[in-house]
A and B are shown apart, each in its own frame.
Chain A
């Protein structure tokens, strides 16, 4: 009996090597410790053991049970390890890359637009939107543009067909539909809808009847800003643009206002910047934006009291800023979408 017990342990140990699956383990367990197993058989022989030997025999049985269980545990560990190994498959080669395309990228014009929006958001400007199709009134008349102004020419501005019915762009009277030449029309529609204070920027696509070349494109993007409140001053305008360009182009950027003329602002200025960060441009002044105090005639068009309110407006080209910031020398790159261009701005 003693011998049988030794043999059971030895046998279980010998069988362990051949067991690689849970099923084999279960059958080995059955063979050894199942209801009809060899160990169970020996244990059933307990009743034949003399009473005084039983404690020793019982102790011996327990030892054997533990030994066998240890072998089973060992087998289970091995089986589990091989199961996991099978599920994992072969090791990766960390030097290989994914076949999937990626990463995606944001277009540089979007990145610049969002950066501009973010900077202006910090000083309380929110984004307003309008339609790309506009009417002559909102694009020109309401902005104090004389009716013989060259910007209205068929040479310079795209018009839609005379008889077109447009569903979601309202007319003032029966003026023509056109593609907006600036996003100033958004300012007019916003002022018509709300009372001051108004603090908005309007980024968006604009159109001019330009032949495409390195610096011109029939469609391009602009950001315009408008601030109307009581006591808005020329100095506020300068401070706002100084802040913006320093945020956009880096510390040490300075701006210069040059008197200019726009129908919708008085006084009007063109804005130059100078920045030591943009090495190529050196310390020269580079034209970057137009701005001015809102012209009283514009306030009249939107029924704001020019005695009570004053305001400023400014506008700049997103392509131009992107070209300066990234050092891009041809506007056409923005519209070709060559991935070798796009991926540089991820």
Chain B
């Protein structure tokens, strides 16, 4: 909201500099976005002159020598001028010798190329009236010769652009802001007296043209005042009013419209003037609009109405959209002589809905949406009528129409000053509390000890509870006076959330393996997402109201973003090849969408730079290792779950080079391996990408437990190797785990099986077609002795027997 300093000074004494006032407003809770200076600063010896005659300068083609009339007291002067936009008879600002212009330039009598010049004719820029430096400022309206230029041009003003928070509709006006400043500086607030209706209306003629006011929808319009003024004359409003309106960005229109705008910005009450001739049958009806009804508003737009909207109508149709904008059919015109002035209060919810639905926000709707104090209407009406009568003449008619009532407001908040101090946490005396409250017009109606009853004026609808008063007390006391203190904190016994810990551990794990952390958007395009993940089409990841197509869906996986990252770094030749990300992803599980915690990484084989030696590259097995590491931080031991090779031919993963552990029941998904080479190429990413991702349901994360030490053997191990022939299709891992099971049985608990690992996989020459050889090494160890060959051999024999009896594997010798 724009607030003029000159205007504020009508109501409160403000000798401070604009910056000081801006600082005070800021501390009062009105953030000042900017401070503008408008209009012409006070100038001495700059007056209105008229060009009587122009002659060519004898020594310079571009210069003219003018005879200028400057009124009786100054007379005529000869002035050299370089401009060319003027003609004889034009009136222009003239700076006389001795004048100091805004740039600090002082005018002296001087010779220009040999010709005497006794002053300077000025451009708009030279006197600070505008940015126009191209030619002289030609003054319109033939102002009197010799008039000081400040009397002719808009006065200098400072305009604050303020933010008024939605809880303070009472501050959406100059008086509202002045009230706050008066409280801040503990000064008087001078609200202009408006003659009461009764005092003016007593002598006025009875109106015969306007006959009735009916409000059919009191919920939408709790109070409506209509007043008739007859015999006025439309014309320009006074210069002071135009100046003030212009300073807050309003265009002066005519005396009546300007008064309504002026009072709106003075008191915060929107009002509207109808040409009385345009009100059919002289009847105003405030009613809900009819579906399909139309109105052309003052901005020239034809708008269709619906029954949730309120209109001001006559028996023939709508005249205005209530609280938002008037209609063209009844606006005040040059020949208007009689008008009906509306000052009303409308339901904020209705106005907000109408304004939003129509896409039309006006100074009126802005204020009605936030709420108008119903008790403020009469003053605003009286003030407007007084100004209309003063500026447009005319006579106020009887009777004054009113529909609805303003229920008297007599709110009291009971507050304890001790409680104020307890909640504040510092000493603030009763006297200071009282001073703060009274500065805001919150008077203490009664007190018993530290318990006070505080009267709340109707305009402060935001004050309902003691806590609301605490805010007011602190605001006026000054938040900058809250004393510093040291933090007193008891030690915490709580721990950070398991998600936080999981992400931290995974992050340092990945950074420790030379991966760079990336952060990508959660929202992805449907096209991209279904290109990568064919199986998610049609799922519920799409937003209801996306802002753009490329941010339309929740991400299914972190890999999409990481591929973007890989591509960007490749195309920009940054040389980086390893990225990871942590974050939330969204998938379907058991028919519902779930939010999962995910960690994913990608390594691209192609580096922007050549190197003197080959770098180490990731492969499937490395990726599997990393995924196992990440899963471990979540409390899952992935070696206990089946890893399924990916071979569906239609995924982001490369057939035959990737695998997944899909354990929806356990609450996690883990996938690792090479990304689909054709697809990554199609997406302009060079080389092989090896990636991995781990996703887990947040509630399945296990907080890391403190480990317990387990004693280990100090005796040497004993190792046996077993080589078997198996079907080529069988996973080596399942062969190994079968043998492992036998190994554990074979020792009958007499000693431990420490490790069973595949150490060789071979197919080809010497191995029958469709078969492969898998060699497994089995390590035994005892906690309390060195194992004897005899017992190890016995165990190994037992394993071989079990393999022969219980599996289809052939033991190779």
Q: Which A residues form the contact surface with B (CB < 8 A)?
A: 96, 98-107, 109-110, 114, 117, 121, 123-129, 131-133, 148, 154, 158-169, 179, 199, 205, 207, 209-211, 217-219, 231, 233-236, 238-240, 242-243, 256-261, 266-270, 293, 295-296, 310, 334-340, 342-343
Interchain CB contact under 8 A, A126 and B495: yes
Closest Cβ neighbor of A270 among chain B residues: B31
Known contacts being A235-B424, A260-B29, is A335 close to B519, with CB within 8 Å?
Answer: yes
Interchain CB contact under 8 A, B586 and A99: no
Q: Which B residues form the contact surface with A (CB < 8 A)?
A: 26-29, 31, 165-168, 349, 352, 422-426, 465, 467-468, 470-471, 474-475, 479-480, 482-492, 494-497, 499-500, 504, 507, 510-523, 540, 542-548, 551, 554, 564-565, 568-569, 572, 574-579, 583-584, 586, 589-595, 607, 611-616, 697-699
Q: Give every chain A residue within 8 A of B483 (Cβ-Cβ).
A: 235
Q: Give every chain A residue within 8 A of B504 (Cβ-Cβ).
A: 114
Q: Give every chain A residue within 8 A of B489 (Cβ-Cβ).
A: 123-124, 199
29 contacts between A and B (CB under 8 A): A103-B511, A106-B511, A110-B517, A114-B504, A132-B584, A160-B543, A165-B540, A166-B595, A168-B699, A179-B522, A199-B492, A218-B547, A218-B551, A234-B425, A235-B424, A256-B479, A257-B479, A257-B480, A257-B482, A258-B26, A259-B474, A260-B165, A268-B471, A337-B519, A337-B520, A337-B564, A338-B568, A338-B572, A340-B574
Known contacts being A218-B523, A258-B29, is A154 close to B492, with CB within 8 Å?
Answer: no
Interchain CB contact under 8 A, B511 and A101: no
Q: Give every chain A residue within 8 A of B29 (Cβ-Cβ).
A: 258-261
Q: Give every chain A residue within 8 A of B576 (Cβ-Cβ).
A: 101, 339, 342-343
Interchain CB contact under 8 A, B595 and A169: yes
Give A239 to B575 CA distance when docked, in angstroms.
46
Partner of A106, one of B499, B507, B554, B697: B507
Known contacts being A99-B613, A148-B352, is A159 close to B545, with CB within 8 Å?
Answer: yes
Closest 6 CB pairs of A and B: A233-B425, A235-B425, A259-B29, A267-B471, A339-B576, A167-B592
Interchain CB contact under 8 A, B512 and A117: no
Partner of A239, one of B422, B484, B494: B484
Closest Cβ neighbor of A122 among chain B residues: B489
- Beyond the given pairs A207-B522, A238-B485, 9 more chain A to chain B contacts, judged by CB atoms under 8 angstroms and listed by A's residue number, are A106-B517, A107-B516, A114-B504, A123-B489, A209-B545, A234-B474, A236-B485, A335-B521, A340-B574
Interchain CB contact under 8 A, B522 and A205: yes
Closest Cβ neighbor of B474 among chain A residues: A267
Give A295 to B468 CA distance when docked, in angstroms.
10
Known contacts being A124-B491, A154-B544, A233-B423, is A102 close to B517, with CB within 8 Å?
Answer: no
Interchain CB contact under 8 A, A266 and B569: no
Give A105 to B31 CA distance when docked, in angstroms.
39
A266 CB, min distance to chain B CBs, angstroms: 5
Give A240 to B488 CA distance when docked, in angstroms.
9
Give A258 to B424 CA distance when docked, in angstroms.
15
Q: Give every chain B residue within 8 A of A164 (Cβ-Cβ).
A: 540, 593
Partner of B480, one of A161, A217, A240, A256: A256
Give A267 to B545 CA distance when docked, in angstroms.
34
Give A337 to B26 CA distance when docked, in angstroms.
38
Give A109 to B598 CA distance when docked, in angstroms.
17
Q: Give every chain B residue within 8 A of A160 (Cβ-Cβ).
A: 540, 543-544, 554
Q: Chain A interface secondary structure, helix, strand, loop or mixed?
A: mixed
Closest Cβ neighbor of B542 among chain A residues: A161
Of A162, A267, A340, which is in contact with the most chain B CB atoms at under 10 Å from its CB? A267
B348 CB, min distance to chain A CBs, angstroms: 8
Known contacts being A219-B521, A233-B422, A337-B579, is A126 close to B543, with CB within 8 Å?
Answer: no
Partner of A258, one of B479, B521, B554: B479
Q: Give every chain A residue within 8 A of B497 (Cβ-Cβ).
A: 126-129
Interchain CB contact under 8 A, B514 and A103: yes
Give A303 to B612 CA distance when docked, in angstroms.
67
Known contacts being A166-B593, A260-B29, A342-B517, is A336 close to B471, with CB within 8 Å?
Answer: no
Q: Give every chain B residue within 8 A of A127 (Cβ-Cβ).
A: 496-497, 500
Interchain CB contact under 8 A, B467 and A267: yes
Closest Cβ neighbor of B609 among chain A residues: A99
Interchain CB contact under 8 A, B575 and A101: yes
Q: Give every chain B residue within 8 A of A295 (Cβ-Cβ).
A: 467
Partner of A154, one of B507, B545, B697: B545
B639 CB, min distance to chain A CBs, angstroms: 25
A232 CB, min distance to chain B CBs, angstroms: 8
Known contacts being A106-B507, A165-B540, A167-B592, is A342 close to B516, with CB within 8 Å?
Answer: yes
Partner of B514, one of A100, A238, A266, A337: A100
B602 CB, min distance to chain A CBs, angstroms: 11
Give A260 to B590 CA distance when docked, in angstroms.
46
Give A96 to B479 CA distance when docked, in angstroms.
60
Interchain CB contact under 8 A, A238 and B484: yes
Partner of A100, one of B480, B589, B616: B616
Interchain CB contact under 8 A, B479 and A259: yes
Known contacts being A160-B544, A161-B540, A234-B424, is A219 close to B523, with CB within 8 Å?
Answer: yes
Give A239 to B539 CA distance when docked, in angstroms.
49
Give A161 to B552 CA distance when docked, in angstroms.
12
Interchain CB contact under 8 A, B544 and A205: no
Interchain CB contact under 8 A, B521 and A218: yes
Partner of A234, one of B423, B486, B488, B547: B423
Interchain CB contact under 8 A, A334 and B516: no
A251 CB, min distance to chain B CBs, angstroms: 14
Q: Give every chain B residue within 8 A of A258 (Cβ-Cβ).
A: 26-27, 29, 31, 479
Closest Cβ neighbor of A201 among chain B residues: B496
A111 CB, min distance to chain B CBs, angstroms: 9
Q: Give every chain B residue within 8 A of A335 (Cβ-Cβ).
A: 519-521
Partner of A293, one of B467, B486, B551, B574: B467
Q: Give every chain A residue within 8 A of B543 (Cβ-Cβ).
A: 158-161, 179
Give A200 to B260 CA distance when docked, in angstroms.
52
B675 CB, min distance to chain A CBs, angstroms: 17
